[in-house]
A and B are shown apart, each in its own frame.
Chain A
Amino acid sequence: MNKKNILIILENKPGALARIVGLFHQRGYNILSLHVDAVEDTSEFSWLENDLNIQLKPNEVSKMTISTKVSDALQTQILRQINKLIDVLYADEKK
């Protein structure tokens, strides 16, 4: 079991946070810490805008960092489950 930090960019919509937290509980994953902020300065995510060919407006998306303890085998599964949520634009291990 290793500690992993996951970066998630998701739509800043009501209930979006609950979907992430609910997913961790539902699938039996553990949350060590969680931080979430609305993204006011979108310049940090120009790479995501390029990847998805979209334009982000201030406070339109949230940036979430979750640290979790997880086996290597399960890590891909967690990321895929998070990415499957409709409101999630991006989820990957934080480099």
Chain B
Amino acid sequence: MLMRALHEESVELIFGYPGGAALHVYDAVFRQDKIEHILVRHEQGATHAADGYARSTGKPGVVLVTSGPGATNAVTGIATAFMDSIPMVVISCQVASHLIGTDAFQETDMIGISRPIVKHSFSIEDPNDIPIVIKEAFHIAMTGRQGPVVIDIPKDMTAPDKTFNYYYPSEVSIRSYKPPVSPDDQQVQRAVDAILASKKPVLYAGGGAISSDASSELIELNKLLKAPVTNTLMGLGVYPASDEHFLGMLGMHGTYQANMAMHNADLIIAIGARFDDRITNTPSLFAPNAKIIHLDIDYSSVSKIIEANIALFGDVKNSLTKIINKLNDGLNNHDPENFIPWLNQISEWKALHGLNHDLYLDQSDNNMILPQQVVQHVYQETKGNAFVTSDVGQHQMFAAQYYHFDEPRKWINSGSMGTMGFGLPAAMGVKLAHPNEEVVCITGEGSIQMCIQELSTCLQYNLPIKIININNEALGMVKQWQDMNYGGRHSESTYQNSLPNFVELARSYGHEGIKIEKNSDLKEGLRKAFSLKEKLVFVDIYVDPSEHVYPMLVAPNGSLKDIWLGKDKKA
């Protein structure tokens, strides 16, 4: 019944791991051929893989785990999806109803444990409810501000010796759940008036614009406005990085021009973005002269950190369409010339302290390899077309800064939760959804070891992912903060020569491994890795361990114009 309902929900793939309480369900998995099950090596890998599948396709990811440790191992992945608003349905099996509350073998209160990190959760109390609960779970996961939903199913609810009347509703309506769809027309007019009155606007788009599939509307809007656009870490790709109006990412490690534009703006149009603390720096010092227009589907995201002057509640795709229609109705004439002095100012900032995207041209061995050069070479070798997943730390920021994303859903990273171990399993989910596309996992030797067991899953399902391991033999971002704020005391951020031989490790799983230590070998090594189309290749690249990520906002107590540009250089 469960599998039939999942099939009716158009589920193609499930990521999971069996166990005692899940045996009945797994027997049903065996006895059907509509849905493919991917057996991972750890339940955290299942949730991240489902997450990568969801982020890259826009469809919900589905996870199946057993009770107790199966369920708790899934928790980090559920929290990751929750914090980034990724649609996911997690089916956690549970001990039989009569054992609940008795501290039975592999019993854990999954509903209780997952409560703060799910959009909603269900506990099955009657097998007849399974189809309707599945329908409601997918509805909740996919509508409004998307997020993970947990369904806890006691073992006796899946007993194969019982039969039930199966009824799958074609539609579902939950009377206590009505997310906003489209904004109020008066608010739209107020927003357009504010845009027409502004001289220094910035469009600031985040992950919500991707969830809403609003990329084309955003591009269309800016064909009319010709205003500068910045994306959050979560929003990269929703506005093409190669467009002349794109400022790059903003925030903690954002570009100089993006942060300066935000700080000096007279109008900020937030599109599916939520003024996260990595974006605002000190909220009381944030963009002192800016009016705020906030487009969001979640009421609680608006005026949470930064007070909005004009709020457009609804699916941002609809909100953007309404703004575009108003600008085109002949009554609201916008003259892009108005923004030219502002764009010139931003170009000056960019020329002054913008990122250097040509570091890869230096292929001499005068210096150690820089992590920025690695990302730039990967960009060149993949012609900017790859799906890129990342883990968390310096390599993540370098990837975000130097790999230019021209399309949404191509940059897959754990933005809010910052989950190390995300990259490899997420890449599996992406590769399964897009078998003919290049999928690259840019990671570090710290992060990759947090879910490295999934190399075995990649062998089982033949997933030729390219792993770019930016190896600085340390927990780079931790070390950077220790360098900057703790007198260079590297407390527990290095491993004292205890790293594995990653090349041999990859080969032991049947994959290919390449080690690169010299800048002059970098281009050729990467070219070889990408030429091995049928193979997972683990490229272990030793980089300058002393390198820091810049720009970096001064924190605490800094604004967006307080920026470190280098180790001894402040803007």
Contacts and interface: CB of A to CB of B under 8 A. Distances in A.
A77 B300 contact: yes
B347 to A, nearest CB: 38
Given A86-B176, A89-B176, A15 B111 contact: yes
Interface in B455-497: none
Contact of B176 (A18, A76, A77, A88): A88
A1 interface: no
A11 B174 CA distance: 11
Interface string B109-134: 00110011001110101000000000
Contacts of A11: 176
A77 B120 contact: no
A3 interface: no
Contacts of B111: 15
A81 B177 CA distance: 13
A63 B121 CA distance: 21
Interface residues of B, number: 19
Contacts of B567: none
Contacts of B112: 18
Q: Interface residues of A: mostly helix, strand, loop or mixed?
A: helix
A86 B304 contact: no
Contact of B120 (A22, A76, A80, A86): A86
User: Of residues B115, B175, B300, which shows the largest number of chain A Cβ atoms within 10 Å of its Cβ?
Assistant: B300
Contact of B303 (A14, A76, A83, A88): A76
Nearest to A86: B120
A94 interface: no
Interface in A78-95: 80-81, 83-84, 86-89
Contact of A19 (B115, B140, B177, B299): B115
A83 B299 contact: yes
Interface string A39-80: 000000000000010100000000000000000000011001
B120 A26 contact: no
A84 B176 contact: no
A86 B115 contact: no
B140 A86 contact: yes
Contact of B123 (A10, A15, A22, A88): A15
Contacts of B123: 14-15
A12 to B, nearest CB: 11
A87 B300 contact: no
Interface in A2-51: 10-11, 14-15, 18-19, 22, 26
Contacts of B115: 15, 18-19, 22
A87 B125 CA distance: 17
A19 to B, nearest CB: 6
A86 B174 contact: yes
A54 B177 CA distance: 13
Contacts of A83: 299-300
Contact of B300 (A26, A52, A84, A86): A84
Contacts of B125: 14
A22 B112 CA distance: 10
User: What 4 A-B pairs have minimum CB-CB distances, sorted nearest first?
Assistant: A80-B300, A86-B120, A80-B299, A89-B176
9 contacts: A15-B123, A18-B112, A19-B115, A22-B116, A54-B175, A77-B303, A81-B300, A86-B120, A89-B176
